[in-house]
């Protein structure tokens, strides 16, 4: 069960101050109304020489309940299409590949003039379906998995044939391996002069990703997102891998779908893009999705057409939730609207109680104050920028800002939008703030940051960013002097 600092103190006959002092000494800032985390409880247990048993929080129990399959009846199982994620180093052609596959496999009449890039879509190859999902990055991919939503069956790692393995390629390899699903390497930009398949194979083999024709297990498919070369091979390969996986699910079960993106749309309300993992999601279904709930009012498929239902591994945009859900959460159909509402409300109450205890997450100004009081020795930041050039420049400038008492610590930096995985990382480091340069959080990320009490500051001028951070630190300088 969750326990607050003062409750814990009471339970072991100490004063809240004693408890707070112990944690302060270890750099963990809590106030007496905060809920204690498991690691903090363990530390306190050791410190006070008492035994602390940590039971599952009620909230966790609630989550688990939904993720468990009810009455699995394998006799209803049918083969389901694979869900594929493409990841790779920036500029290696992930977006181009996703767009090319979609456009070359969608009849012009069907596409109905849809040209814009979308989060998820389903195509047919030899009359077999494949669903592709675009994740904002490999960190987001893993954050989703951390939340229990492993929507991906097969990972495609895209590597540009003229550029080879880069830092993010290496990160992607680790994330994909951790996900424990089959990997296919798409060697892209084969149309370019300087494309070198063998170089890519050699670099990948060095990283334990040995090609099949070199005696390993990984398929390397030469492709070009520009000319469309190799796309059929890639799709055939996906189908082969998918056959080996024997993916199956029950189309008659209560619908369960993963939210891959969600936003608030003018005139339509909350819209969630989902991929169905089990069952069939129908218009009229009562649904619950983390702390949000509702009844499916309408579904539009990936071609923008209204449909009555979404089948296994299919994707579409669902209208009818009362609020915007966080991506990575799982939408589950319930028997009645009352049930859906009750589950969501209980979770929301829990979330609210936690939010009230979030006094350790602070704004830049408050941070400056805490630094002034000598309570903080470093200002942890997460830095995101639109291009690697500015990222490196800002990172270097930030790490230059320091003095004897305090310094800036960039705990993570990356090219790309501010995502939920940044929030996860920020909430794991006391007092961490997120800085964005020419990038912004999506609506869902923004509202989650607000709910979690995490500060996100975005800038379009480097000096403004640097100045803000300097001010935060020098505010403390003058306060000390």
Q: Does 96 bind ligand GDP (CB under 6 A)?
A: yes
Nearer to ligand GDP, 87 or 281 (CB): 87
Position among 43, 80, 82, 92 found at the interface with ligand GDP (CB under 6 A): 92
| Binding residue for ligand GDP, selected from 152, 188, 421, 455, defined by CB under 6 A | 188
Question: Which of 93, 222, 316, 380 touches ligand GDP (CB under 6 A)?
Answer: 93
Residue from 41, 54, 57, 90 in contact with ligand GDP (CB under 6 A): 90
The SS3 call for residue 311 is: coil
Among 37, 45, 59, 95, the residue binding ligand GDP under the rule CB under 6 A is: 95
Residue 135 touching ligand GDP (CB under 6 A): no
Q: What is residue 4's DSSP assignment? A: B
Question: Nearer Cβ to ligand GDP, position 90 or 298?
Answer: 90
Q: Which stretch binds ligand GDP (CB under 6 A): 84-92, 123-131, 365-373, 400-408?
A: 84-92
Whole-number Å distance between alpha carbons of 196 and 439: 33
Closest CB 91 distance from ligand GDP, rounded Å: 4
Which residue, 226 or 402, has its beta carbon nearer to ligand GDP? 226
d(CA 277, CA 60): 21
- Distance in Å from the first CA to the final CA of the chain: 45
- Least separation in angstroms between residue 89's CB and ligand GDP is 7
Nearer residue to ligand GDP within complex by CB, 88 or 414: 88
Which residue, 80 or 94, is less far from ligand GDP as judged by CB? Answer: 94
Q: How far is the CB of 87 from ligand GDP (least distance, A)?
A: 9
Smallest separation (angstroms) from ligand GDP to the CB of 331? 28
CA distance 258 to 148: 10
8 versus 141: smaller Cβ distance to ligand GDP: 141
Please state the three-class secondary structure of 412-471 as a single string. Answer: EEEECCECHHHHHHHHCCCCCEEEEECCCECHHHHHHHHHHCCCEEEECCHHHHHHHHHH
Per CB under 6 A, 103 contacts ligand GDP: no
Residue 203: other Cβ atoms inside 10 A: 17
Residue 88 interacts with ligand GDP (CB under 6 A): yes or no? yes
Span near ligand GDP by CB under 6 A; candidates 108-116, 186-194, 253-261, 417-425:
186-194
> Which SS3 state, helix, strand or coil, does residue 275 take?
strand
Q: Cβ closer to ligand GDP: 16 or 88?
A: 88
- 166 lines the binding site for ligand GDP (CB under 6 A): no
Taking CB under 6 A as the criterion, the residue among 47, 91, 342, 386 binding ligand GDP is: 91
Shortest reach from residue 403's CB to ligand GDP, in Å: 38
- Decide whether 188 or 329 has the Cβ nearer to ligand GDP: 188
Out of 145, 166, 177, 192, point to the residue binding ligand GDP (CB under 6 A): 192
CB contact at 8 A, 114 and 151: no
Strands 219-222 and 183-188, how do they pair?
parallel
Strand-pair partners of 382: 412, 434
Buried b (16+ CB within 10 A) or exposed e, 50-75: eebeeeebebeeebeebeeeeeeeee
For residues 421 and 411, is the Cβ–Cβ distance under 8 A?
Answer: no
Q: How near is the Cβ of 95 to ligand GDP at its closest, in Å? A: 3
Residues 6+ apart with CB under 8 A from 427: 361, 452, 454
**Does the footprint of ligand GDP cover residue 94 (CB under 6 A)?**
yes
Residue ranges of E strands in 45-192: 78-79, 83-88, 120-125, 128-133, 154-160, 183-188
CB 88, min distance to ligand GDP, A: 6
- How many positions of this chain bind ligand GDP (CB under 6 A)? 15
Q: How far apart are CA 204 and CA 212, in angstroms?
A: 12
Of 201-240, which residues contact ligand GDP (CB under 6 A)?
224-226
Instruction: Tell me: does residue 354 bind ligand GDP (CB under 6 A).
Output: no
- Based on CB atoms, which residue is closest to ligand GDP, 98 or 426? 98
How many Å apart are CA 436 and CA 464, to the nearest integer? Answer: 12
Which of residues 186 and 312 has its CB atom nearest to ligand GDP in the complex? 186
3-state secondary structure of 345: helix
Closest CB to ligand GDP among 191 and 468?
191
User: What distance in Å separates the CA atoms of residue 157 and residue 166, rounded to the nearest whole number?
Assistant: 12
Cα–Cα distance, 379 to 383 (Å, whole number) = 12
Cβ-based neighbours of 47, under 8 Å, separated by 6 or more = 22
Residue recorded with tokens 């004693």: 18
* Minimum CB–partner distance for residue 149 and ligand GDP (Å): 22
By CB under 6 A, name the binding residues for ligand GDP: 88, 90-96, 188-189, 191-192, 224-226
């Amino acid at each position: 069960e969750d326990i607050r600092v003062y409750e814990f103190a009471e339970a072991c006959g100490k004063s809240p101050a004693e408890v707070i002092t112990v944690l302060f000494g270890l750099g963990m800032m809590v106030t007496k109304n905060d809920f204690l985390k498991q690691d903090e409880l363990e530390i306190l247990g050791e410190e006070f020489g008492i035994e602390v048993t940590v039971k599952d929080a009620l909230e966790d129990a609630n989550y688990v309940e939904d993720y468990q399959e009810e009455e699995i009846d394998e006799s209803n199982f049918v083969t389901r299409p694979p869900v594929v994620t493409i990841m790779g180093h920036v500029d290696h052609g992930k977006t181009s590949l996703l767009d090319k596959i979609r456009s070359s496999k969608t009849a012009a009449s069907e596409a109905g003039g849809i040209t814009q890039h979308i989060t998820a879509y389903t195509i047919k190859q030899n009359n077999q379906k494949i669903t592709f999902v675009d994740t904002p990055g490999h960190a987001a991919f893993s954050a989703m998995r951390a939340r229990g939503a492993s929507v991906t069956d097969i990972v495609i790692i895209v590597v540009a044939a003229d550029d080879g393995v880069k830092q993010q390629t290496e990160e992607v390899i680790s994330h994909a391996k951790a996900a424990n699903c089959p990997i296919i390497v798409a060697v892209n930009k084969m149309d370019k002069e300087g494309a070198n398949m063998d170089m890519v194979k050699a670099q990948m083999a060095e990283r334990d990703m040995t090609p099949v024709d070199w005696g390993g297990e990984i398929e390397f498919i030469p492709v070009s997102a520009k000319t469309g070369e190799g796309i059929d091979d890639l799709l055939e390969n996906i189908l082969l891998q998918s056959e080996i996986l024997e993916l199956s699910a029950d189309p008659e079960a209560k619908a369960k779908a993963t939210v891959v993106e969600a936003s608030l749309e003018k005139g339509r309300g909350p819209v969630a893009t989902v991929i169905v993992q089990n069952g069939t999601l129908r218009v009229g279904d009562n649904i619950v999705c983390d702390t949000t709930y509702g009844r499916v009012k309408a579904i539009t498929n990936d071609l923008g057409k209204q449909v009555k239902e979404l089948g296994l591994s299919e994707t579409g945009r669902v209208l009818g939730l009362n609020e915007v859900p966080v991506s990575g959460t799982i939408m589950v159909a319930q028997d009645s609207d009352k049930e859906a509402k009750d589950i969501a409300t209980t979770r929301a109450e829990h979330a609210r109680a936690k939010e009230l205890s979030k006094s350790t997450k602070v704004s830049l100004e408050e941070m400056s104050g805490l630094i002034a009081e000598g309570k903080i020795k470093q200002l942890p930041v997460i830095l995101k920028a639109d291009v690697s050039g500015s990222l490196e420049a800002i990172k270097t400038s930030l790490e230059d800002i320091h003095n004897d008492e305090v310094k800036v610590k960039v705990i993570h930096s990356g090219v790309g939008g501010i995502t939920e995985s940044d929030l996860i990382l920020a909430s794991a480091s006391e007092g961490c703030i997120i800085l964005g340069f020419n990038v912004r959080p999506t609506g869902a990320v923004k509202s989650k940051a607000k709910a979690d009490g995490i500060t996100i500051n975005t800038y379009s001028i480097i000096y403004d960013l640097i100045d803000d951070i300097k001010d935060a630190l020098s505010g403390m300088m003058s306060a000390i002097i």
